[in-house]
Structure 1
Amino acid sequence: MQLDDLGFADDLALLSQTQQQMQEKITNVAAASAAVRLNIHEGQSKILRYNTACTNPVTIDGEDLEDVK
């Protein structure tokens, strides 16, 4: 069994194996949210990288999301 996403009360944790996959997930979630007039607050969205050398930014609407440790 593979866990892809975790949903909480008003939070969502997206899990991915690659930066490209994460970018696609975030883009899709942002589009689906916008379709029902929900916004993703870029300032409250964070990226946690584990076991990767990739440092390419993940973005929402052209804004880089903050990496945390």
Structure 2
Amino acid sequence: MVCKLNYTKLAIYGITQNTETKEYLMVFQYANDGSLYKYLRKNFCNLTWQAKLEILKIFQLSY
């Protein structure tokens, strides 16, 4: 699977589970700019609603 964000492609390798917290985690290809969480924390207010919905659609269509 490939995640396309800001015209770059980022491979999605799969999902894993933290054995201590039981939380699920998505495993992505290494990204120079850091995690999606950090990207959204930094840029959320500057993203259009269309861009935010596109990010959600990426994860919806992944599985």
Shared fold per TM-score greater than 0.5: no
Whichever of the two has the greater Rg, that structure is 2
Q: When the two structures are superposed, what TM-score results if normalisation uses the length of structure 2?
A: 0.33
| Structure richer in strand, relative to its length | 2
Q: When the two structures are superposed, what TM-score results if normalisation uses the length of structure 1?
A: 0.31
